[in-house]
Chains A and B, each alone.
Chain A
């Protein structure tokens, strides 16, 4: 079959190809048992996308249940504080997309609404999910309660311990939380266990993946559901300032909040983008920066940058933020890095912790540790840009879940 001549042939927004590949990345690297299911999901997603009723229900839930659109906020005191340390005439304006104000406190719910509607369309009666920080687990448990479906959440035992409030939230919402003790007992191990459950229960179970990774069509559909962030932000920024931002900044675990913000801007040539990985203790020590410190490989259904040794064994990621310590990254980011459309950097635990405190003190907003990585990157970049430049960062989660971790790091006992 000839490829159709698309008017958007030069677009950065027409990935993946029909086999789920983003350039050399992505794909469907799953066990044969799952393959027919993944193909069914793709077919159903195509139908849903073309169905105005699906779109209408998704939009309605986002508005009335999630609380969208989330505000676009100019952060005056953070801007001034960063400007104070900048050379004359420099110090960009800092704006935030306030997805931490969503129901359940993070961007994760946008995706969960979309996926549970798909699950219902497919007649699935049981939902499973993996979670790291617990935000995706809470969001999944929430939509399961809302639609009356049983929910099992796999969570690394290490994360169960460091994200106790979210574990309790999931239980209150009626989910079963299964601690996973394999490996380092964090997000990647939770994902392995969720895949094992899925393989054994394909007939009735829908796997709600929490980030823009996994086998095709997950990276695409998670991106599409999260793109509400960027679509709103683009329209809001135009309405408020009459122009587009100069730089977008977002933290990256698997990359869903980042791709959700970036994707609607990819074809705007004046808009630069910066994805921020977790450098943990430092890039020469334990970290979770797959693009900075990894190589392409195959894990969890897709080909992408992975932290791995010479034999292809996967290395454990580390970050102060449980939502970022995954040794991989969504395949679209691997592609965007290779083609150079998006820049990627990384921020250490200590830098993220300082940024966390900075936002608390300057704006009266307690961010999650994940977007604290984005804020840390903003703190470095803003002073290098002119005063009239606009930086838009994704404030993708609030910090309630992290106060124990932060207190611990600051030597405070609660």
Chain B
């Protein structure tokens, strides 16, 4: 069983937590996510042009780049994380250009070497899979694709083809960190996706509070929280880890117990 499979096989929904690499004290932030009970960690690769992100994660990208974060630094953080936390799956999330600039094979090999379990690339749809997918699969790194409210049933098989780890359902047509979709629409979408997918379905975009997370976890296999954690780094800087641990604990309790009868 891969680390990602194990994370979704604990008999309860999983918390997937996102922070941006190089924003604040990355190692301490990652440790705080693990301490708080995150089951899967998404580490954002900063990009100059984060066109699918809202203001919070845009700002985190720019803070990180302003501090001089390089791709090599991200892989160093990832490898160090893997050494400290052998069990917790780590996924890199970002945009295509920094991933393919040295060639997809190079990127996939670096991921494998650093113990990265999966990659989410915002701007490579299934139609352009050749750009990155084959290299990741050959290196044994999961390609995690996004499904959205505009992904209809006709398209869904193409999205699932060649993807693994989990399916990331973007619950709102929009950028990160904005409003949450209505719960009943999420519930319907998750049911539709789970009927078609053999991999777990995690839901993200706009999830900020333990209450929201619990409501989604009642249906989905996982819940992704990003902007709310990134906001803590914006507010607290290097002192963010304690705050991250507190919020993550509340979120993971809510998610893990979402289906436990009260």
A36 to B151, CA, bound (A): 7
Find chain A residues with CB under 8 A from B148 CB. Answer: 31-33
Find chain B residues with CB under 8 A from A195 CB. Answer: 51-52
Write the B93-119 contact mask toward A (1 if CB under 8 angstroms, else 0).
001111111100000000000000000
Given A300-B51, A310-B101; A35-B175 close (CB under 8 Å): no
Which of B6-14, B24-32, B124-132, B227-235 touches A? B124-132
List which A298-317 residues lie within 8 A (CB) of chain B.
298-301, 303, 306, 308, 310-314
Find chain B residues with CB under 8 A from A196 CB. Answer: 51-54, 174-175
Q: Are the CB atoms of A32 and B101 closer together than 8 Å?
A: no
Within 8 Å by CB of B101, from A188, A199, A201, A308, lies A308
Q: Are the CB atoms of A33 and B173 closer together than 8 Å?
A: yes
Q: What are 8 sample pairs from A and B whose C-beta atoms fall under 8 A apart? A: A28-B128, A29-B124, A33-B150, A200-B175, A297-B100, A298-B124, A308-B97, A312-B98
List which B41-56 residues lie within 8 A (CB) of chain A.
47-54
How many residues on the B side are at the interface (Cβ–Cβ under 8 A)?
Answer: 44
Q: Is B245 an interface residue (CB 8 A)?
A: no
Q: Is B251 an interface residue (CB 8 A)?
A: no
Q: Is B137 an interface residue (CB 8 A)?
A: no
Q: Are the CB atoms of B150 and A200 closer together than 8 Å?
A: no
How many residues on the A side are at the interface (Cβ–Cβ under 8 A)?
Answer: 38
Find chain B residues with CB under 8 A from A297 CB. Answer: 97, 100-101
Q: Is B139 an interface residue (CB 8 A)?
A: no
Nearest CB in chain B: distance from A6 CB, A: 23
Q: Are the CB atoms of B98 and A35 closer together than 8 Å?
A: no
Write the A184-216 contact mask toward B (1 if CB under 8 angstroms, else 0).
000011011001100111110000000000000
Q: Is A365 an interface residue (CB 8 A)?
A: no
Q: Are the CB atoms of B101 and A29 closer together than 8 Å?
A: no
Find chain B residues with CB under 8 A from A201 CB. Answer: 173
Q: Are the CB atoms of B127 and A28 closer together than 8 Å?
A: yes
A314 to B98, CA, bound (A): 9
Nearest B-chain residue to A312, judged by Cβ: B101
Q: Is B237 an interface residue (CB 8 A)?
A: no
Find chain A residues with CB under 8 A from B150 CB. Answer: 32-37, 202
A27 to B127, CA, bound (A): 9
List which B182-207 residues lie within 8 A (CB) of chain A.
none
Given A37-B150, A200-B178, A313-B98; A32-B128 close (CB under 8 Å): no
Q: Are the CB atoms of B175 and A313 closer together than 8 Å?
A: no
Given A203-B173, A301-B123; A313-B65 close (CB under 8 Å): yes
Within 8 Å by CB of B170, from A28, A32, A183, A303, lies A32
Find chain A residues with CB under 8 A from B128 CB. Answer: 27-29
Write the A326-363 contact mask toward B (1 if CB under 8 angstroms, else 0).
00000000000000000000000000000000000000
Given A36-B150, A306-B97, A313-B98; A200-B173 close (CB under 8 Å): yes
Nearest CB in chain B: distance from A95 CB, A: 39
A195 to B71, CA, bound (A): 25
Q: Is B15 an interface residue (CB 8 A)?
A: no
Which 3 residue pairs of A and B lie closest in terms of their CB atoms, listed nearest first?
A: A312-B101, A200-B174, A312-B98
Find chain B residues with CB under 8 A from A300 CB. Answer: 49, 51
Write the B154-180 contact mask toward A (1 if CB under 8 angstroms, else 0).
010001000000000010111100100
Q: Is A240 an interface residue (CB 8 A)?
A: no
Q: Is B211 an interface residue (CB 8 A)?
A: no
Given contacts A35-B150, A298-B100, 10 further A-B contacts (CB under 8 A): A29-B131, A32-B159, A36-B152, A196-B52, A199-B52, A300-B51, A303-B131, A311-B98, A311-B101, A312-B101
Nearest CB in chain A: distance from B155 CB, A: 6
Nearest CB in chain A: distance from B72 CB, A: 8
Nearest CB in chain B: distance from A408 CB, A: 28
Within 8 Å by CB of A298, from B131, B172, B173, lies B131
Q: Is B147 an interface residue (CB 8 A)?
A: yes
Find chain A residues with CB under 8 A from B96 CB. Answer: 29, 298
Q: Is B252 an interface residue (CB 8 A)?
A: no
Given A199-B174, A311-B70; A32-B51 close (CB under 8 Å): no
Q: Are the CB atoms of B151 and A29 closer together than 8 Å?
A: no
Find chain B residues with CB under 8 A from A183 CB. Answer: 48-49, 62
Q: Are the CB atoms of B49 and A199 closer together than 8 Å?
A: no
